Amino acid sequence: MRTLYTTSTRTAIVDLLKRDPRYLTATAIYRILRDDNPRLALSTVYRTLELLAELGNVSFRTESNGETSYVFCTDEHHHHAICSVCGHVDEVDCAAIDQFKSALMAQQSFELDDHSIEFYGRCARCR
């Protein structure tokens, strides 16, 4: 029973994150899911999010108040375009970085190994 319960929590969290692609804290996720599942514990939400992060199904960031927030991610390498108005997160592919990498090498002899980029702007609905 315990496994089943955990699995259904995991499904509910993944469904929510897919439906609402914004960075959400564990507390926010807990509050939304609790409506349908009054027995849900905040600790279960935390544990499930940690597991999903380990599996690479979500990425996370630290908010200014120190809370961790999570967003659903596909397996492919990508970046996030984040709407400054509503927080909507779009996945952006990375093709432009290859050009940037060549330019860094040509102009500054810098060899790029890894990168982490977020884009900020306004989504289609908020323009």
Give the interface with Zn ion as residue ranges (CB under 5 A): 73, 83, 85-86, 88, 94, 97, 123, 126
Q: Characterize the bridge pairing of strands 118-121 and 79-83.
A: parallel
Judge whether 89 and 69 are in contact, CB under 8 Å.
Answer: no
> Cα 109 from chain centroid?
33
Q: Which is closer to Zn ion, CB of 34 or CB of 79?
A: 79
Backbone angles phi, psi at 120, to 5 degrees: -120, 140
Find the shortest distance in angstroms from Cβ 108 to Zn ion. 19
Find the shortest distance in angstroms from Cβ 41 to Zn ion. 27
> Cα 48 from chain centroid?
14
Find the shortest distance in angstroms from Cβ 38 to Zn ion. 31
Cross-strand bridge partners of residue 27: none
Q: Which is closer to Zn ion, CB of 31 or CB of 101?
A: 101
Q: How far is CA 92 from CA 23, 29, 56, 105, in A?
A: 16, 24, 17, 24
Q: Which is closer to Zn ion, CB of 41 or CB of 96?
A: 96
Q: Which is closer to Zn ion, CB of 17 or CB of 83?
A: 83
Find the shortest distance in angstroms from Cβ 10 to Zn ion. 18
